[in-house]
């Protein structure tokens, strides 16, 4: 038929790029948001984040989004939620808005994916705040960032496997890995297997990234240092960038997460411009960032938290077996993680810096340190 009408037909489905999955982690710590009430109220921040999510969904009809709340006592899903009603805003399965008597339902002219995300996020966020009691706020002043990262990684892994099974991405990656492992070079050596997440098949799999909107300080998350770093290493292995939008406080671990995963880290000096920063710095996905000059941070804080008291330290003691960090010698000299006996000695009593030795002044022509030459008498006639 192509030769008859002299036209060229293309299969658009074979050349379409894979969609992008954006996971937004919102820090909902009530103590931290109370300090930003005058500059950026929590309700306005959520409205700006919803506009940013709608922009992400509008970039590609197949884009996906997930929203996780990092609260003071737990990490909870905001979207997608398992207890979502089947008839959101009185809409049927076809997306047609129904009428209640003579009064139409609100938001009838809004794009249905936008409306579903907004209604689920606002409803679940309201339920989460209403379920928070005064005892919960007094008992814990930090945010459950480690649990939120774990939920995000679990959802990304599930969606990546499901998308690969639907579009054959898993079979292509397995075939490429097996082919590279079995092939040999001309010199008789065995070629190394290519990375499953290399640039060759990057456009064929689901593009995933994580955005953290943080308002808590690093001291609040120091007790979660180990699970947070494990999540960062998992994202680094899976090539999942972690973007951080810091509204207040310092973030030692989030700087390390963004630097290790090649994400974008921005600490906003003016929180009122949250929407502008989200749209300009965090909206492009991995494919678009190849052609952009991203904001980089050179003064990354690489400090770690000790395993004994969970506080950020500059200088500490490191176990030579499991690399555990301690701010002071452990009791009995035994590592609290692996139990290895450490020969600590009296390092805590030694000074951190040794005094500099004074340099001796050189003698000039056998003279004193002042450099005055010694006069010798001349013989007479």
Residue range 335-360, pLDDT digits in tens: 877 777 877 666 554 445 555 666 66
CA atoms of 263 and 254, how far apart (whole Å):
10
Q: Angle, nearest 10°, between helix axes 225-237 and 252-260?
A: 10
Structural domain includes residue 59: yes
Structural domain includes residue 363: no
Structural domain includes residue 181: no
At 192 the pLDDT is 36
Q: Which residue has the higher pLDDT, 100 or 54?
A: 54
Residues paired with 23 in a beta bridge: 66, 210
Query: Taking the CA atoms of the chain, what radius of gyration do you get in angstroms?
Result: 30
Q: pLDDT of 87-109, one tens digit each? A: 544 444 443 434 344 444 556 78
Q: Are strands 207-214 and 20-27 parallel, antiparallel or unpaired?
A: parallel
Q: Domain of 147?
A: 20-83+110-166+205-290
219-239: average pLDDT: 83
331 shares its domain with 280: no
222 shares its domain with 264: yes
Structural domain includes residue 380: no
Number of domain units in the chain: 2
Structural domain includes residue 15: no
At 292 the pLDDT is 87
256 shares its domain with 335: no
For residue 239, pLDDT over 60 is answered with yes
For residue 231, pLDDT over 80 is answered with yes
145 shares its domain with 273: yes
Structural domain includes residue 62: yes
Share of the chain above pLDDT 70, in %: 66
Longest dimension (CA), the chain: 138
113-130: average pLDDT: 93
57 shares its domain with 151: yes
CA atoms of 303 and 321, how far apart (whole Å):
20
* pTM, 2 dp: 0.71
CATH code of the domain in which 221 resides: 3.40.50.410
66 shares its domain with 36: yes
Cα distances (Å, whole numbers) of residue 125 to 27, 46, 68, 69, 156:
12, 10, 10, 8, 21
Q: pLDDT of 197-228, one tens digit each? A: 444 456 667 899 999 999 987 655 667 878 88
CA atoms of 212 and 244, how far apart (whole Å):
5
Structural domain includes residue 184: no
Q: Could you tell me the two tokens for 355? A: 């005094």
226 shares its domain with 330: no
37 shares its domain with 154: yes
Q: pLDDT of 260-297, one tens digit each? A: 999 999 988 888 889 999 999 999 998 888 898 888 76
Is 177 in a helix, a strand, or coil?
helix
> Tokens 């805590």 correspond to what residue?
348
């Amino acid at each position: 038929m192509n030769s008859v009408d002299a036209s060229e037909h293309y299969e658009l489905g074979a050349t379409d790029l894979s969609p992008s999955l954006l996971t937004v982690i919102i820090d909902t710590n009530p103590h931290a948001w109370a300090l930003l009430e005058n500059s950026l109220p929590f309700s306005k921040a959520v409205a700006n984040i919803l506009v940013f999510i709608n922009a992400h969904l509008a970039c590609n009809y197949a884009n996906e989004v997930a929203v996780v709340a990092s609260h003071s006592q737990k990490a909870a899903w905001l979207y997608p939620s398992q207890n979502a009603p089947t008839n959101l805003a009185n809409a049927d399965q076809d997306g047609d808005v129904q009428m209640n008597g003579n009064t139409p339902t609100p938001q009838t002219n809004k794009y249905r994916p936008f409306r579903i995300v907004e209604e689920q996020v606002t409803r679940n966020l309201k339920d989460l705040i209403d379920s928070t009691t005064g005892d919960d706020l007094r008992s814990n002043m930090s945010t459950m960032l480690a649990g939120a990262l774990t939920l995000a990684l679990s959802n990304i892994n599930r969606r990546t496997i499901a998308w690969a099974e639907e579009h054959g991405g898993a079979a292509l990656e397995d075939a490429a890995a097996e082919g590279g492992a079995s092939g040999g070079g001309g010199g008789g050596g065995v070629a190394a297997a290519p990375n499953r997440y290399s640039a060759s098949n990057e456009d064929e799999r689901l593009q995933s990234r994580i955005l953290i909107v943080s308002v808590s300080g690093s001291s609040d998350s120091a007790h979660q240092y180990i699970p947070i770093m494990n999540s960062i290493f998992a994202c680094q292995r899976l090539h999942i960038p972690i973007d951080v939008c810091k509204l207040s406080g310092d973030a030692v671990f989030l700087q390390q997460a963004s630097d290790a995963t090649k994400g974008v880290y921005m600490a906003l000096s003016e929180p009122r411009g949250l929407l502008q920063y989200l749209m300009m710095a965090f909206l492009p996905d991995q494919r678009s960032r190849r052609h952009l000059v991203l904001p980089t941070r050179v003064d990354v804080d690489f400090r770690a938290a000790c395993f004994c008291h969970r506080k950020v330290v500059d200088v500490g003691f490191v176990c030579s077996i499991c690399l555990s960090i301690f701010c002071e010698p452990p009791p009995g000299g035994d590592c609290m993680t692996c139990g290895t006996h450490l020969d600590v000695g009296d390092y805590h009593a030694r000074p951190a810096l040794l005094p500099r030795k004074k340099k001796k002044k050189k003698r000039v022509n056998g003279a004193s340190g002042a450099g005055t030459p010694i006069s010798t008498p001349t013989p007479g006639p």
